[in-house]
């Protein structure tokens, strides 16, 4: 009791401990609830600027791959035209050598010259045909329309998958073009050899 005779209030240790425990539990529950809410809401959606930038990047890659496929198709067409010209010139040389009497009875040539001319002409024809014939399989012209329609996903993923498919198509087309170009180069070199053999055979027969 104090000097005025009034008893001072006393703090119960049990009540203080209970209050502290309840406060701790409340704060912990609040933190856990906030974390669960953030986790259930999923990742934060990207900003509109990031989405637009990604879409523009995929669009540029798609257009670049499509242009490359178009260029490869034009290159294949030009290669076929040159192969047809190679075939025509080789046939003309063969006709010329027989017309002027290189293998006639008046000016016979050695059978070895005739054999070399025949072998050279045969290889030239083979190389020209390998460059000239249509591509049966393995050539890519672009993303199939059916695959685009059947694709499940958003526009960005669709454009990404289509671009990756065309990039692989560009690689496959490049392998075909390299192979056919080599055949054409071999045929063109042998065409020069055929001309040299024809001239040499003409000189040797006189």
Instruction: Write the DSSP assignment of 69-86 as a string of letters.
Output: HHHHHHHHHHHHHHHHHH
Q: Could you report the per-residue pLDDT of 86-109, keeping only the tens digit for each?
A: 989 988 888 877 766 555 556 666
Tokens of 161: 């998958």
> Which residues constitute the domain of residue 128?
57-204
Regarding pTM above 0.75, the answer is no
Residue 189 lies in a domain: yes
Residue 190 lies in a domain: yes
Residue 179 lies in a domain: yes
Residue 9 lies in a domain: no
Residues of the chain short of pLDDT 70, as ranges, are 1-54, 99-109, 145, 147, 153, 205-206
In the chain, the number of structural domains is: 1
Q: Distance (Å, rounded) from C-alpha 64 to C-alpha 69?
A: 9
Residue 45 lies in a domain: no
Residue 181 lies in a domain: yes
Tokens of 23: 């406060």
């Amino acid at each position: 009791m104090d000097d005025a005779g009034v008893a001072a209030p006393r703090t119960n240790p049990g009540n203080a401990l209970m209050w502290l425990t309840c406060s701790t539990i409340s704060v912990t529950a609040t933190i856990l609830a906030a974390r669960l809410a953030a986790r259930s809401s999923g990742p934060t959606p990207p900003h509109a600027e990031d989405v637009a930038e990604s879409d523009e990047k995929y669009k540029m890659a798609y257009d670049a791959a499509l242009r490359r496929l178009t260029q490869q198709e034009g290159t294949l067409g030009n290669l076929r035209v040159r192969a047809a010209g190679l075939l025509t010139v080789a046939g003309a040389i063969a006709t010329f050598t027989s017309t002027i009497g290189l293998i006639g009875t008046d000016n016979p040539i050695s059978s070895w010259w005739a054999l070399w001319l025949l072998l050279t002409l045969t290889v030239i024809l083979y190389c020209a045909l390998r460059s000239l014939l249509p591509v049966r399989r393995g050539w890519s012209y672009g993303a199939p329309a059916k695959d685009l329609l059947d694709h499940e996903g958003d526009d960005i993923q669709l454009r990404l998958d289509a671009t990756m498919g065309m990039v692989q198509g560009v690689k496959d087309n490049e392998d075909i073009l390299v192979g056919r170009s080599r055949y054409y180069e071999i045929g063109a070199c042998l065409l020069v050899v055929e001309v040299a053999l024809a001239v040499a055979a003409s000189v040797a027969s006189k």
